[in-house]
Each structure stands twice: as C-alpha cells, then as structure tokens.
C-alpha cells in the first residue's frame, strides 16, 4: 500500500530526512513511527500527504508515484492525514466539521457519519456544539472522525496523545485499535512505550534517519529502545 523508498526531504536549505524507507502492506494494522521531538516524524507524514516534496527517492501510495500530486489528490487515493494541530473549524459545529471531511464522498455521507458516531458516541451527543468548546480529548476524537469521513484506506495520525491526560490518551488509543480493524493506521508518537504497546510494527526515527525497524514487540525488548526511551 505504501512504499517509501530512500527519501531525502528538506525545508529550504535544511535537510531533515535522510534516505528514509518504509513499507506498509495490507496486512499491517497499526504501524508506529516513534522517536524524539525533532526526529522528522511529522515531516515524513507531511511528505506522504503531498504537503512536502522529496529531494530524492520516491513515495508510492497504492501503486502510484505521488510526485506532483496535490494533497487533495492524495486524500482521494485513500491516504488521510490528521495533523497534530487537528485543524478543526472552531466556529463550526461537530456535525459541520465532520461534513467538511466528507467532501469527496457526499453520496455516502449519512452512512459514514453513522459509523463515526457509533465509534465516538460523544460526538453524536455533541453534534450541534461548536468544535471550539470541546475538551482536548473530544477535539482529538473529532479530528480522527473527520479523517474517517474521507473513507481512507490508510489513516495517518500525528502525535495522537499530545496534550491529553494519560487516561484520555488510553481511551483514544482504544478507539484507534477499533479503527484498525477496517483501516490501516500509521501513527507518530513521542511516547515510545505507549506507541509500541499499541502498534504491531514500528519505525524508530532519530535525526531524520530510520535507526531501527521491527515488530513492536521486538522493539520493546531491544536494548536500543530500552536504554534510550523506556526508563522513567
């Protein structure tokens, strides 16, 4: 489904990804991209979403080279990115925000919104409330729900747990597990331990390079991860 082949990516003169490769197949349910702040996790997602161009290497989504495709065309292919900022329309209601996510699939709107409300009953309860008045956890659920409205094949979630209390973060992770039964999830996390417990497979990014990749279970047991990320 996703084939990232040796990409270099820069902001102006500053190169931040070096020779990054990643493969995600139909068999993958949850793949985590973990690593410290500044490692390049968001940059990798933005490149897959068509927001940044590669200097070298290529990104293939669902068999298509994405070079030259716009972010909307990439959504249309089935890759949907929920950014860390969540990008909600605070002055619009929950239902209106969900509707914005469905612009490609207007005809299936009713069915899809029912699925989203089944997954997140709190969004149905608050459907007429302005998004800006939701709690942090509810806003994260709305951002995920809006992503699902686009009927993705792959849902990419950037720093899911950022700004959430641990209990709420766990609840969001449980939703992600449910989503992954139907949709492949790629997520980034600075909380390496939590992400590895959730994911099936993971890539460790450090300083813009893939420092390790393996099953999440193997990475949890690896000395490299234990030494740098799992204490405390």
Ligand X SMILES: Nc1ncnc2c1ncn2[C@@H]1O[C@H](COP(=O)(O)OP(=O)(O)O)[C@@H](O)[C@H]1O
By CB under 6 A, name the one of 7, 34, 42, 219 that touches ligand X: 42
- The CA-atom distances, in angstroms, between 116 and each of 142, 195, 197 are 9, 23, 25
Signed CA dihedral, 60, 31, 193, 179: sign only = positive
Residue count at the site for Mg ion (CB under 5 A)? 2
Token representation of residue 222: 């690896």
Angle formed at CA 20 by CA 16 and CA 25, multiple of 5 degrees: 140
30-38, 70-78, 86-94, 219-227 -> range binding ligand X (CB under 6 A): 30-38
The residues near 58 (Cβ < 8 Å, ≥ 6 apart) are: 3, 4, 5, 6, 7, 65, 66, 67
Whichever of 37 and 128 has its CB closer to ligand X, that residue is: 37
Whichever of 14 and 106 has its CB closer to ligand X, that residue is: 14
- Determine the straight-line distance between the first and last CA of the chain, rounded to whole angstroms: 36
Residue 115: exposure state from Cβ atoms within 10 A (0-12, 13-18, ≥19)? middle
By CB under 6 A, name the one of 4, 22, 24, 40 that touches ligand X: 40
Whichever of 34 and 80 has its CB closer to Mg ion, that residue is: 34
Whichever of 34 and 94 has its CB closer to ligand X, that residue is: 34
By CB under 6 A, name the one of 2, 4, 7, 16 that touches ligand X: 16
| Residue 11 interacts with, from Mg ion, ligand X, none (CB under 5-8 Å by kind) | ligand X
Cβ at position 41, least distance to ligand X in Å? 3
By CB under 5 A, name the one of 42, 97, 139, 140 that touches Mg ion: 42
Rounded to the nearest 5°, which phi and psi values hold at 175?
-65, -40
Binding site for Mg ion (CB under 5 A): 41-42
Binding site for ligand X (CB under 6 A): 11, 14, 16, 35, 37-43
């Amino acid at each position: 489904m996703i084939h990232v082949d040796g990409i270099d990516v820069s902001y102006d003169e500053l190169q931040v990804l070096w020779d990054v490769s990643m493969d995600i197949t139909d068999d993958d349910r949850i793949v985590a991209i973990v690593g410290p702040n500044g490692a390049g996790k968001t940059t990798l997602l933005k490149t897959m979403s068509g927001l940044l161009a590669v200097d070298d290497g290529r990104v293939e989504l669902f068999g298509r080279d994405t070079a030259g495709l716009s972010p909307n065309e990439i959504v249309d292919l089935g890759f949907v990115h929920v950014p860390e900022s969540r990008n909600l329309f605070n002055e619009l209601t929950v239902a209106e925000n969900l509707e914005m996510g469905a612009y490609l699939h207007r005809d299936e709107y009713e069915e899809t919104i029912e699925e989203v409300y089944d997954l997140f009953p709190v969004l149905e309860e608050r459907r007429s409330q302005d998004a800006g008045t939701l709690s942090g956890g509810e806003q994260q659920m709305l951002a995920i729900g809006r992503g699902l409205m686009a009927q993705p094949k792959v849902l990419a979630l950037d720093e899911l747990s950022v700004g959430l209390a641990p209990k709420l973060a766990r609840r969001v992770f449980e939703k992600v597990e449910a989503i992954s039964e139907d949709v492949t999830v790629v997520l980034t996390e600075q909380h390496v331990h939590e992400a590895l417990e959730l994911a099936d497979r993971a890539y460790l990014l450090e300083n813009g390079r893939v420092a390790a990749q393996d099953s999440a279970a193997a990475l949890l047991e690896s000395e490299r991860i234990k030494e740098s990320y799992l204490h405390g």
